[in-house]
Structure 1
Amino acid sequence: MQNVALPPRETLTIEFKSDRKKLPDSDLLAAVICLANTEGGELWLGVEDDGTPTGLHPDHQMANALVGLIAARTSPSLAVRVEVMDVQGIRVARISVPQAHSATATTAGVYLRRRLKFDGAPECVPLLPHDFISRSTTLGQLDLSAQPVQGAQLSDFDPLERERLRQNIQHYGGDRILLELDDEALDGALGLTRRTPDGSRIPTLLGLLLLGREAALRQFVPTHELAFQVLERESVRFNEFRRFPLLKLLDWLETSFRPFNPERELQVGLFRVPVPQVDRAAFREAIANAIIHRDYTRLGAVHVRLDDEGLTISNPGGLVEGVTLHNLLTTEPRPRNPALADAMKRIGLVERSGRGVDLIYRGLLRFGRPQPDYRRTDTVNVVLKLSTAEADLNFLKMVVDEESQRGSQLPIDSLITLAVLREFRRITSEELAQHLQKDLDQAKRVLETLHEAGLIQAHGVTKGRSYTLSAGLYQALGDKAAYTRQVGFSSLQNEQLILNYVAQHGQISRSEAMELCRLSEGQAKALLRKLTQSKQLQMKGASIATFYTRSDECG
């Protein structure tokens, strides 16, 4: 019998259920399908809402019986894993619930899903008809943008928007074959209409989004809306909501954004390099992504907000199945609305390979700005924040010079590596792999390529090997002293730094030693072990609470 610790609280994927009076089967099944119809998770049976274990009812002591009950009373049948274990000496059951790949109900016909309330606490709510469609789009089982819109007619298309479509293909270098087609053939090629059994054509959601008159969009696509706001301290400089068809909407937004996006120029050799507050290509790609990946079954505008902290772009609908914050840079493209994504690529408005996120990263990193920030993304909204910090002109000049010598752009992995080293000063291949969202071998190849190019410098060998920017690069960045701080300290100097720190503060942790001496975790661990073995320091505490004090033998 295992003895484990409980999760600290209920979350979107963690549910506690009391079993002191025997939880009714209907309540148990409801809790299970609620998790399954969201992200899956764990149901802890025998635990109160506040996280206090109170034990299983005698009728729920058999794990196999719970597995059979849930499989028999859910449709489609759910295969859960049940583990009976001890928590603080009290027997509870952990029921691991997989995420369902189609809407799942109890055999009594109850459909539920899980969501977070305003205070962050989870609750179960009915799975409504539009939720079925939304879930299918999130799981990649339905392309809503390709569906015909009942009641819509070809007269709902605006001829001016059709002309705008052709102009955009020409202007952005889209698929020029489309320009040779007549209107009916163009509609068919892009999926703007769908044939009915009687041979007539009916607009799809994609067709209305691209060519629809505003009145038709309000009637048939009430979820389509974009808000652009500019806030300066506590004053509102711009605040407009629009329901234009997409191409007109993007033109309007770029025109409206231009006065708030100041730009200067940097002379690099014979080239004049524009330095905008927000890179225009990254801006266009980020906006297009928000429109393409938004959930058109949910009310709520795509929000574009520029304030003193940066540019924030958010859209209704969380990340689709298979995409997480930990694989954004590496996962294969999975658009929520594939027909819309394909049309935008063929028009030329978004990156044709589907790797638009790379373009967004490049639009920040080459100017020495922080990486795109997706940390506020949750299950119902994707939130992207782009920094508008002052550009590092020396870093930009270095990138432009390097790209001029290569005759091509720096690979995005190289840009990320240089940006990480610029921020953290020193890094190991293991640490870089996490930033690149790639495996260790790939991270090592990126580092070795930059090392051979003379952009970074290696320190140490084998397991303790770490990297810094090269002396020449620090000089190009106008910070020669930083290089000396990084590599100029000998082992004896680092030892003395740590001993002085302990003398002043009484103790030091491994993380403090890493920060003080600019060492990797492995290097700091080795140095502290050396000082401990030489009786200059003594280790106290255990595990993550370990710290080091002056040895008693040193007086």
Structure 2
Amino acid sequence: MQTQASDWIWLKTHTEGQFFERKSCFNRSNGQKKLRKARDVARDVAETLSAMANADGGILALGIEDDGTVTGFHYPEKRWNVILEAPRRLVSPPLKASYRWVELDGKQVLVFEVDWSADVHQLSDGRYLMRIGDKNMPFPASDIAAIKAGKRKRITESRLIPDATLQDLDPQLLEALRKKFGFTGPAEELLDRFRLIERRNGRIVLSLAAILLFARDPLQWHPKCMIDFVKWQGAARRFGAELNVIKRERIEGPLPVLIQEAFNALQPHIRERQRLVDLYFEERFEYPTFAWQEAIINAVAHRDYALEGTPIEIWLFDDRMEIRSPGQLVEPVTLDHLRRGEQIHASRNPRIVRVLTEWGFMRELGEGITRMHEAMLREGLKPPEFRLEAGSILTVILYNTPIYPPETTRWLQQFEKYDLSPNQKRLLAYAYAHEGSFTSRAYQKLVGVDIYTASRDIKDLVRKGIVRLTKPRGRVYEVITEETTVTIEKPPELKALEPILKQKGYIKNSDIRETLNLSVSQARRLAQRLVNLGFLTPKGEKKGRKYVPGPRFIDPS
């Protein structure tokens, strides 16, 4: 099947990830360009398509390098079937993958497409693979039954809505996705590309996923496609005469709009707090932006849309935020996986997830929970809590109370340059509270890791010169600390700006932007930091503001 090249130019520029991969037909080892054996390419095709089918589906472009250079498909026709039959011959049960030929830059490219499958597919060599981000990852046989059970829950978004038509969809949203995806064809082909429609008896029938994503009024087909945002006074809900609701807002719309409107509704209610950074106070939000936005995106993308009596709920209290999403966990994900912040991925709604990923709301799948943990711990806050309430409401709880006392947080700042994991920071905080020492056993118990992970993390701290054994072959480690003194060394950014300061006698925001390639706001924050450190002194107001050398710049001693 040959198709229009203009609809596939995006194959050269699109970022490889959960739903897309490029593969070359050439081997460039030893500095030589040599056509790979067809059977080796066939194995690559089988691996990638089976991994995608076991996850959320996707597209494989054969004949394009990782950097987007089109090198083409150059096998003789008698070898084509070796590659074209790979999804059926090298995978069990056989994959239902489609393919088409695309001409790009004067060369032929072979494009495979596969949808997610209700079956769990095994390679001919016995391996099971699942697509996670831009990698085809093996998963253990013990998870197969759980994954099969999870796949059976993926039918709701695919349900067809016979009385809905293309006219019920918002053309502006379709156009927005068309631009993001780099697609030039008509709307029905775009929807078909994402498996959001079916063609029956000469007419187009929309799926529930298409309605939820693009309908002008999704509530016409799903009464709870909405978010109920409630801000409560205090730390508990009260009712009747003691009702403590400060604000309540019902947020409606197709899913991309729903997510953005939820962000807009919540942002004004997230307070700022001060944190001491590099000798001056920096304003930080009480919840890391990534953490609460990721929780909302996950709630919208992964909720169970078969439950039509309950909306997504966001409850904001004085000490915490709760994001409540209807639906149980999808196998093989467990509460323990979430609580440990492990990278694991399973989609209840793979077609919805794919569109939201192309939209830019979701990134590498499976790592969002890990990054939520990191964002919270990086700000000195408790890691996210996860609960399954009433058997069918997954609740994510973010607390705004610092996990460490202020003096511990300040003490930990001396290690920020070492790029430590959240667990390593927790270990150092533990040591700070226990006279500067700890054991591997204490670390295992503290963060819930096994002895091998604990050994790896502690050895990393030893290599970085942060901790050491108190005696040879001992079991007790101690933190190596130095007496902290106020540094007077000029920051590297100031050194880069120094020639302009000496030439003109001052610098402006525009000088900082052009020299360091920063945005206006980044340049403003850097200038304020240098003022706080005493290297610069501001003169003038607003657009006329200049920065002249400060006392520490003139006399660093």
Normalising by structure 2, we get a TM-score of 0.51
CA contact (8 A) 2:381 2:399 kept: yes
2:268 corresponds, among 255, 259, 270, to 259
Q: How does 1:281-320 map to 2 (within 5 A)?
A: 281-298=290-307, 299-320=309-330
CA contact (8 A) 2:251 2:262 kept: no
CA pair 290-183 structure 1, distance change in 2 beyond 3 A: same
Q: Which residue of 2 aligns with 1:232?
A: 233
Task: Measure how far apart 1:461 and its partner are.
Answer: 7.2
CA pair 389-248 structure 1, distance change in 2 beyond 3 A: same
Task: Measure how far apart 1:243 and its partner are.
Answer: 2.9
CA distance in 2, matches of 1:158, 1:209: 11
Q: How does 1:208-223 map to 2 (within 5 A)?
A: 208-214=211-217, 217-223=218-224
Task: Measure how far apart 1:363 and its partner are.
Answer: 1.9
Question: Number of aligned pairs?
Answer: 328
Q: Which residue of 1 aligns with 2:157?
A: 145
Which amino acid in structure 2 is aligned with residue 221 of structure 1? H
1:492-550 Cα distance to aligned partner (Å, 9 max, x none): xxxxxxxxxxxxxxxxxxxxxxxxxxxxxxxxxxxxxxxxxxxxxxxxxxxxxxxxxxx
Task: Measure how far apart 1:331 and its partner are.
Answer: 5.4
Q: Which residue of 2 aligns with 1:441?
A: 452
Q: How does 1:43-62 map to 2 (within 5 A)?
A: none
Does 2:196 align with 1:196? no
1:243-286 Cα distance to aligned partner (Å, 9 max, x none): 31111112211111121112357574599965111111111111
Does 2:194 align with 1:184? no
Task: Measure how far apart 1:430 and its partner are.
Answer: 4.4
Task: Measure how far apart 1:146 and its partner are.
Answer: 3.5
CA distance in 1, matches of 2:389, 2:352: 22
Q: Which residue of 2 aligns with 1:503?
A: none
CA distance in 2, matches of 1:291, 1:202: 23
Which amino acid in structure 2 is aligned with residue 445 of structure 1? R
CA contact (8 A) 2:231 2:247 kept: yes
1:311-336 Cα distance to aligned partner (Å, 9 max, x none): 11111112222222222223521122
Q: Which residue of 2 aligns with 1:324?
A: 334
Task: Measure how far apart 1:465 and its partner are.
Answer: 2.7
CA distance in 1, matches of 2:372, 2:231: 21
Q: Which residue of 1 aligns with 2:355?
A: 343
Q: Which residue of 2 aligns with 1:278?
A: 287
Q: How does 1:78-227 map to 2 (within 5 A)?
A: 139-143=150-154, 144-165=156-177, 169=180, 177-178=181-182, 182-191=186-195, 193-214=196-217, 217-227=218-228
CA distance in 1, matches of 2:370, 2:455: 20
Task: Measure how far apart 1:374 and its partner are.
Answer: 1.5
CA distance in 2, matches of 1:320, 1:162: 29
Provide the secondary structure at the position in 2 that maps to 1:289: helix
Which amino acid in structure 1 is aligned with residue 295 of structure 2? A
Task: Measure how far apart 1:350 and its partner are.
Answer: 1.9
CA distance in 1, matches of 2:410, 2:479: 15
Task: Measure how far apart 1:166 and its partner are.
Answer: 5.8
CA distance in 2, matches of 1:368, 1:311: 16
CA contact (8 A) 1:362 1:415 kept: no
CA distance in 2, matches of 1:246, 1:394: 43
CA pair 161-327 structure 1, distance change in 2 beyond 3 A: same
CA distance in 1, matches of 2:202, 2:409: 57
Which has the larger displacement, 341-350 or 412-421? 412-421
Task: Measure how far apart 1:288 and its partner are.
Answer: 0.8
CA pair 389-160 structure 1, distance change in 2 beyond 3 A: same
CA pair 158-268 structure 1, distance change in 2 beyond 3 A: same
Which has the larger displacement, 300-309 or 145-154? 145-154
Q: Which residue of 1 aligns with 2:372?
A: 360
CA distance in 2, matches of 1:350, 1:366: 21
1:369 corresponds, among 381, 393, 400, to 381
CA contact (8 A) 1:421 1:427 kept: yes
CA distance in 2, matches of 1:422, 1:318: 40
Provide the secondary structure at the position in 2 that maps to 1:203: strand
CA pair 388-196 structure 1, distance change in 2 beyond 3 A: same
How big is the alpha-carbon RMSD for the aligned residues of Structure 1 and Structure 2?
Answer: 3.8
CA contact (8 A) 1:323 1:331 kept: no
CA distance in 2, matches of 1:220, 1:296: 11
CA distance in 2, matches of 1:333, 1:434: 26
Provide the secondary structure at the position in 2 that maps to 1:185: helix
Identity %: 23
1:391-410 Cα distance to aligned partner (Å, 9 max, x none): 8777777777756x46xx54
CA distance in 2, matches of 1:422, 1:149: 60
Task: Measure how far apart 1:227 and its partner are.
Answer: 0.8
CA distance in 1, matches of 2:391, 2:424: 31
Unaligned stretches of 5+ residues in structure 1: 1-100, 103-134, 170-176, 477-555
Does 2:367 align with 1:382? no
Which amino acid in structure 1 is aligned with residue 221 of structure 2? F
Task: Measure how far apart 1:365 and its partner are.
Answer: 0.5
Provide the secondary structure at the position in 2 that maps to 1:195: strand
Normalising by structure 1, we get a TM-score of 0.51
Does 2:450 align with 1:450? no
Which amino acid in structure 2 is aligned with residue 448 of structure 1? K
Which amino acid in structure 2 is aligned with residue 382 of structure 1? L
CA contact (8 A) 1:326 1:437 kept: no
Which amino acid in structure 2 is aligned with residue 149 of structure 1? I
Task: Measure how far apart 1:202 and its partner are.
Answer: 2.2
CA pair 267-235 structure 1, distance change in 2 beyond 3 A: same
